[in-house]
Structure 1
Amino acid sequence: MEVAVALPVVALAAPAPATLDAVQVQAARVHAVDDFDLPASITTQDVDAHGNGRGVLVSEALGGVPGLLARERQNLAQDTQLSIRGFGARSTFGVRGVRLLVDGVPATMPDGQGQLSHFNLLGAERIDVLRGPFSALYGNSSGGVVQLWSADGQAGDPWRLRASAGSDNSRSLGLQLRGLAGAMRYNVAASDYRADGWRRHSAARRQSLNARLGFEMAPGQRLDLLFNVLDAPRAQDPLGLDRTQVREDPRQATAVASLYDTRKSVRQAQAGAVYTLQRSRQTWRLMAYAGQRTVAQFLAIPPAAQANALHAGGVIDLDGGYGGVDARWAWHGTLAARPLELVIGANADRQRQHRSGHENFVGDVLGVRGRLRRDQRDRVGNVDSFAQAWWQFAPRWSLLAGARHSRVDFRSDDRYIAAGNPDDSGRRQYTATTPVAGLVFRAGQDLRLYASAGRGFETPTFNELGYRADGGAGLALDLSPATSRTLELGAKWRTRAGTRLDLSLFHTDTDDELAVASNSGGRSSYRNIGATRRRGMELGWRQPIGEAQHLQLAWTWLQASVREGYLTCSGLPAPCTAPRNPVAPGTALPGVPRQLLQARWDWRPDRWQLAAETVAAGATTSTDLGDGRAPGYALVNLEAARQWHTASGPLRLFARVDNVLDRRYIGSVIVNDGNRRYYEPGPDRSWTLGLEWQWSPH
């Protein structure tokens, strides 16, 4: 249990408990108050221990969340495309505009760039998704929040071994050890996944280890230790395709992908600790974490483009560390004889990164590390303070309000100074205060109505600051943060039979939205384009049918468009070095389908499990001008599983078939690709077959 919406706050307990309950940092709950009574759009996805897919990529667990779009790109070099209510849709790699956390530890760096690659599903219990105004209380780049939680070890928990194989020579192997040993609760999960890839030149391997160790130190005290390791030594990048290539052969890789052997490797290791102390009506919490991450990426930039003295080369090397601390105090009491929850805290995060660039050729040999072309030390950090309160000021009314003040500092020290390439060092500071507030009205025993409003902001990332739009030397320090204002109205309905219905209407206006200014020589620069608007409706419905069946439906209607016209580099001619193509007011933002529908039926008679699901998405534009367009699609997937009880423990056989009807479709788009290769085709009919065995170590 937690104390505040959109702030990772600990549980408040009665005086001097004998033991401290499992403490988890979680979005949007107040002590003793269910999220049903909070003015926010919150969805909790259980990561089913009996899932029937590969159990590797986070997109597998995010189906059925209204407002959220998670697209697997058939390209592990670029990770899952993730956006919430249109925020993050422009990202060409990684995740930006959406805040990510794993067991309360940020997976988004201070500049707003995040990664999903180290989300380990094998050890996970659930994923919380927060949408709407209260997301802003997470600070910079919080158009939404996604948090993964590892299960807390309990006495008698089984250990399990899971293996699967499937289409395109994909195979996964995972081991989870979970339980209670003395005063230590443990959950250790290791997985190995490898595949040749549905498209050519898309083979990849990914190994992950996640551990959560919880210690009951004394009555009212607990220490959680968190460890995570990711090793993705070589993920091939097939690049996007143009429309003609998709028609000819959607499984092909772009010719230059093989010519330059485009690929990416990532290694990351991090550790964290959370200490919690509960005394009467007060709770103190201190969290600290640190990690190291290295990335090497080989791009398909031709040598001629690198002849420019200011060009940073076709190989990107990133090596650096990151870390942070978070301290907060929570109090539970009354105001005017009515329940009151209060939290006050502060956090600081830092990232230091050595960024170097090399040519991707040596003589006539392509796709190798060549001469140094960039050498800089980047630092970015934030210092935030926040306060939030929940107050039930009347029997049928409650108020949730808070504010967060953020300061984000960027600094870059250039160590590569040569003829025609001057010192590019620079620094920039951004500050913002993001207030939010919401009211809930208890209309009936099973019905809640709410309204909320808030402000948010999004700074440029280091990647977006890296190149000036005018082609000159130095960082794009003239970029301003995007600022947004969001209003939301919602209704929540629950029944004792288990029916859950959530409806929300939202309206977000953004100023100084960031978009591509120029795209030339394999590099993109950015600028502030003015005003945009995102408005829409979300519907989530969960319906049990008897004791063995379950229906789930998630529907999103989203109109994301330009409010003020501007000039862009999308379209012809390509490459583009200066904005010249007008974008009219009302033009749809790229990467955002107008409608998204996800439905699932699940039936578990006795030892069997049968499921059918459908995913349908509207057409998606791929450029600011709207001239590139991926058509909409509808897919059907089927699952089946059977469990046997053995003397050693339960044994389960499971199978899944994706795209049963073998439809051709575009699974994702690369927004504003400078070579007009916008499309990443989705796979045809594919299958997964696996076994899972659970046993007791006692």
Structure 2
Amino acid sequence: MNDAIRFAHPQLALAVALCCAWGAHAQDPLAQAKSDPGALSPVVVTGERSGGGLWRGAASIDVVDGDALRDGQAQINLSEGLAGVPGLVIRNRQNYAQDLQISVRGYGARATFGVRGVRLFVDGIPASAPDGSGQAANFPLGSADRVEVVRGPMTALYGASSGGALLLYTEDGQRPAQWRTGLVAGSDGLWRLSTQATGQTGTAQAPGWSYAVDLSRFETDGTRPQSAADRSTANLKLSRRHEGGRTVLVFNRHSSSALDPQGLSRAEFDANPDQTNAGALSFNTRKTVAQTQWGLAFEQALGGAHKLELMGYSGQRQVVQYQSITTGAQVPAGSSGGVIDLDRDYWGWNARWRHESDWQGGRLSLSAGVASDRQSDSRKGYENFIGTTVGVQGKLRRDEVNRAQTLDPYVQAEWRTQGLTLMGGVRQTRTEYESTDLYIVGTNRDDSGRKDYQSTLPVLGARWQINPTLQAFASIGKGYEIPTLNEVAYRSGGVSGFNTELNAARSTSAELGLRGRADKLRWSATAFDIRTDDEIVVQNNTGGRTTFQNAGRTLRQGLELAGEWRSGPVTLTTAYTWMWANYQDAFMTCTTAGCPNATPQVQVPQGHQIPGLPPQQLFAQAAWDTGWAGSRVTLEARHTGRVMVNDLNTDAAAAHTLFNLGVQFKQERGDWTLREFIRVDNLTDQKHAGSVIVNDGNGRFFEPGAGRKLMLGLEAQRRF
């Protein structure tokens, strides 16, 4: 702890000391909320769950149960079950080489692959690297207990680049033991087979280890040529309670291979959205991933209502990706080729003290801790040709080691009564980047470099109950988004080399909301305002290389509405998001290869919309439990507004509305439970862009969405 606080401001160290001293005098027994995941929680969020959210919390948090993620769904992509969360944009690119496109209140919209600016966790273990990049492909949906979607200022407590957070928690093994297996088959050669087993060793009087195992395999031919993919995932969770605490061990193995159909130009998309760019076919663009990780968490009550929580994790990730960069673009000495070979080792830990007691007529929760994450990337680049043969690994053109590490002390306090919640916290985040260039050949110079990013992120929130069915909440805080290692990998002109000129973006975020509940109705309405300085934007994106720069100010303002109404066998669910996101200052950008003289040539005017973000998004679902054969019929409508494709706002993906119809069946036969479903997505077979590749330098912005698709599923479950 002393080494960690050395990095903090004196005020933060004093705050830690005061919190520890304050808690040391309380003698009430520790009372832990039923929903608290303990040491597997990356930060402390307490509250009483109701209607899919945290009723007594001072933050915008939606909770989607595991059954809602699985019932009537393919259980392949996180996008299937989270469309009903306001403020969240989560799209299936129909390109498994690039992962889902995820943004929260505008954070993460610039990501052309993977996830940026939004933190991902599985059972408390980061699925995001210290530099803020992440992938959602290894989320084990088949064994999910719930997903928590955190939005607003409070997300700063997760560290840098936390414009939002998605936290998946897997189920614990219980008695009686259960086994289930499911098969899904659908259009385009899609199928998924999975098996889960949960249970507990020992006896009911003397329980031993709880276990949960999840194995799955998925394959598809893809919706376009060059879009086939497969994925295998294994997830294991072991937990055991002991006197005053618990120990949890988690293990995850993920491997996948996917062809990359890339995007289409406007002309290609209009002519035939089912086609694939010729470059992707000739270079056989593709990506393979293999990842293994484990985590260990331990929590122990210390007496006097104090508690210690420790968590550590480690993993290894390998990625090989073949791009369609032309052979001519690889001639310059600074080119890193057209094949990416990444070997990543990562590890981290989180140590936290917690205290919970009665104080001044309410419940007081205090916590203080230190979190550290590290990654070491051995990154090589090769030419993607040998002679006249393309799409194969050629000569070495890049060899470097990139390292990132964080060390973040944090404190948090929450005081809660029936009618009032006061919440505050501060996290000091420090990230160190270092790049060591091992490829110095001829005129290719030494491109080594290093840079540190540091900020203190305070947040405050309050919730007050107006009456038993209505409450208001508000929060405000600072945000800090650092560029990823991939974003600092290229200097102006798209030449490889550590870009030390790229700074972090700083923001101030505020929200104000109302939420209510009654016998049949749950609803919420939240307005937010986010003002950012030094927004990270694209400077140039050509030749397979993207260079980033800092622009001026941006503004994101929006309104989130959500509701659920139940009456007898009918349930109506809606979620609507309106957001206006634009550049408050003009800035210069490049539109030509190489960015001549490393100087941007074209102005992005003040007031232009930030690309990748729909101004409006609507989800509406009607579900009817028919009472016949345990069946439920659901009809969904998903509307996405017009989305700009680049900073210059020269083109946009048109608004569209998709309709999905599903029928589910459930039968109970002794110890057996059988579930079946049939689902048709995009009922009207509407042509649409499912997502856009923001600021693509080749003008291939559009990733076509899937047409009408049929899916069938069967699951059998048995209790022992």
Which of 544, 557, 581 pairs up with 1:522? 544
CA contact (8 A) 2:369 2:409 kept: yes
| Per-residue deviation, residues 499-549 of structure 1 (Å, max 9, x unmatched) | 211110000000111111122322111110111010000001011121x32
Matched, 1:195 2:195: no
Give the direction of change, closer, same or farther, for the CA distance of 1:553–1:687 in structure 2 (3 Å limit). Answer: same
Q: Give, in whole Å, the separation in 2 of the partners of 1:666 and 1:503.
A: 29
Match of 1:603, SS state, is: strand
User: Partners in 2 of 1:557 and 1:131 — Cα distance?
Assistant: 15
- Pick from 175, 178, 189 the counterpart of residue 155 of structure 1: 175
Distance 2:467 2:407 in 1: 42
TM-score, normalised to structure 2, is 0.91
Q: Deviations over 1:159-212 (max 9, x none)?
A: 101001100010110000012222111111111000000111100000011111
Secondary structure of the structure 2 residue equivalent to 1:96: coil
Flag the 1:630–1:281 CA change in 2: closer, same or farther, 3 A: same
2:564, 2:233 → 1: CA distance?
Answer: 32
Contact 1:128–1:147 (8 Å) recurs in 2: yes
Inter-partner Cα distance in structure 2 for 1:123 and 1:225: 15
Aligned residues of 1:506 and 1:537 also touching (Cα < 8 A): yes
Structure 1's 610 and 26: CA in aligned 2 closer, same or farther, altered over 3 A? farther
Instruction: Specify which of 343, 346, 351 is matched with residue 367 of structure 2.
Output: 343
Q: CA deviation at 1:395?
A: 6.8
Q: Structure 1 residue 559 and structure 2 residue 580: aligned?
A: yes
1:40 match: 59
Contact kept, 8 Å, 1:20 with 1:222, in 2: the verdict is: no
For residue 614 of structure 2, give the secondary structure of its aligned residue in structure 1.
Answer: coil
- Structure 1 unaligned segments of length 5 or more: list them: 1-11
Counterpart-to-counterpart distance in 2, 1:634 and 1:15: 50
Which amino acid in 1 is paired with 2:713?
G
Q: CA, structure 1 residues 405+104, in 2 after alignment: closer, same or farther (shift >3 Å)?
A: same
Q: Distance in 1 between matches of 2:181 and 2:294?
A: 25
Query: Residue 667 of structure 2 aligns with which residue?
Result: 644
Structure 1 stretch displaced more, 477-486 or 603-612: 603-612
CA distance in 2, matches of 1:42, 1:91: 23
TM-score when scaled to structure 1? 0.94
Tell me how far apart the structure 2 counterparts of residues 180 and 21 of structure 1 sit (CA, whole Å): 21
Query: How far apart are 1:281 and its partner, in Å?
Result: 1.1
Check if 1:215 corresponds to 2:240: yes
CA deviation after TM superposition for structure 1 residue 580, in Å = 1.6
Higher mean C-alpha deviation, range 19-28 or range 145-154: 19-28
Counterpart of 1:543 in structure 2 is 565
Q: Partners of 1:336 and 1:52 in 2: how far apart?
A: 48
> 1:370 Cα deviation (Å)?
0.4
For 1:82 and 1:473, the matched residues in 2 are separated by 27
1:8 corresponds in structure 2 to: none
Pair 1:406 & 2:429 matched: yes
Shift of 1:157: 4.5
What is the number of residues matched between the two proteins? Answer: 678
Distance 1:395 1:247 in 2: 57
Q: Distance in 1 between matches of 2:35 and 2:601?
A: 62
2:46 match:
30
Cα pair 1:520 1:576 within 8 Å, conserved = no
Does the 8 A contact of 1:28 with 1:42 survive in 2? Answer: no
Give the distance between the partners of 1:493 and 1:126, measured in 2 at CA. Answer: 22
Using a 3 Å threshold, how does the CA distance of structure 1 residues 370 and 600 change in structure 2: closer, same or farther?
same
Asked if the contact 1:373–1:416 (Cα under 8 Å) also holds between the matched residues in 2, the reply is yes
- Trace 1:277-292 onto structure 2 (pairs within 5 A): 277-278=300-301, 279-292=303-316
Moved more, 327-336 or 95-104: 327-336
Distance 2:349 2:37 in 1: 21
Contact 1:508 1:534 in 2 (8 A): yes
**Alpha-carbon distance in structure 1 between the residues aligned to 2:141 and 2:496:** 43
Letter in 2 for 1:654: F
In the alignment, what sits opposite 1:103?
A: 123
1:457-492 CA-partner distances (Å, limit 9, x unpaired): 011101011000155663101111000001111111
RMSD: 2.0
Q: Distance in 2 between matches of 1:141 and 1:588?
A: 21
Q: Secondary structure at the match of 1:114?
A: coil
Shift of 1:276: 0.9
Q: Choose from 588, 598, 614 the match for 1:593.
A: 614
The corresponding residue for 2:189 is 169
Query: Per the alignment, do residues 361 and 473 of structure 1 end up closer, same or farther by CA in structure 2, a change over 3 Å counting?
Result: closer
- Which whole-Å deviations, capped at 9, do the CAs of 1:263-305 have from their partners, x for residues lacking one? 0000000000110112341121000000000000000001100
1:352 aligns with one of 359, 373, 376? 376
Range 469-478 or range 510-519, more displaced: 469-478
| 1:482-501 pair list within 5 angstroms | 482-495=505-518, 497-501=519-523
Q: Distance in 2 between matches of 1:662 and 1:539?
A: 28
Specify the SS of the correspondent of 2:157: helix
1:510 is matched with: 532
Q: Map Cα deviations across residues 341-370 of structure 1 (whole Å, 9 max, x no partner).
A: 110000111101100000000011100000
Distance 1:265 1:580 in 2: 37
| Distance in 2 of aligned mates of 1:422 and 1:501 | 59
Q: Does 1:296 align with 2:320?
A: yes
CA distance in 2, matches of 1:481, 1:244: 36
- For 1:425, which of 448, 462, 471 is the aligned residue? 448
**Match of residue 145 from structure 1:** 165
Structure 1 range deviating more: 24-33 or 366-375: 24-33
Query: Within 5 Å, which residues of 2 pair with 1:262-273?
Result: 262-273=285-296
User: Closer, same or farther in 2 for the Cα pair 1:472/1:693, shift >3 Å?
Assistant: closer
Aligned mate of 2:278, from 255, 267, 277: 255
Residue of structure 2 in register with 1:5 after alignment: none
Q: 1:21, CA displacement in angstroms?
A: 8.9
Deviation at 1:339, TM superposition (A): 2.9
Amino acid paired to 2:477: G
Contact 2:494 2:546 survives alignment (8 Å): no
Cα 1:311–1:322 shift into 2, 3 Å:
same
Aligned equivalents of 2:151, 2:593: Cα separation in 1: 37
Cα distance in 1 between the residues matched to 2:48 and 2:258: 46
- Name the amino acid aligned to 2:223: W
Change (3 A) 1:306 1:13: farther
Aligned equivalent of 1:204: 229
Gaps of 5+ in 2: 1-26, 203-207
AA in 2 matched with 1:360: N
Assess if the C-alpha contact under 8 Å between 1:47 and 1:61 holds in 2: no
- The amino acid that maps onto 2:45 is R
- Structure 1 residues 677, 472: closer, same or farther in 2, change over 3 A? closer
Bigger Cα displacement from structure 2, 41-50 vs 305-314: 41-50
Q: CA deviation at 1:584?
A: 1.4
After TM superposition, the structure 1 = structure 2 runs for residues 67-86 of structure 1, keeping only pairs within 5 Å, are: 67-86=87-106
Question: Counterpart amino acid of 1:277?
Answer: Q
Shift of 1:31: 6.1
Q: Does 1:451 align with 2:474?
A: yes
| Separation in 1, partners of 2:659, 2:493 | 47
Q: Give the secondary structure class of the aligned counterpart of 1:59.
A: helix
Pair 1:666-2:685 in alignment:
no
CA distance in 1, matches of 2:307, 2:637: 44
Tell me, in whole angstroms, the C-alpha distance in 1 between the residues paired with 2:35 and 2:259.
Answer: 46
Distance 1:331 1:180, change over 3 A: same
Point out the more displaced range, 466-475 or 269-278.
466-475
2:659 and 2:681 in contact (8 A); partners too:
yes
Q: Contact 1:53–1:655 (CA<8 Å) still a contact in 2? A: no
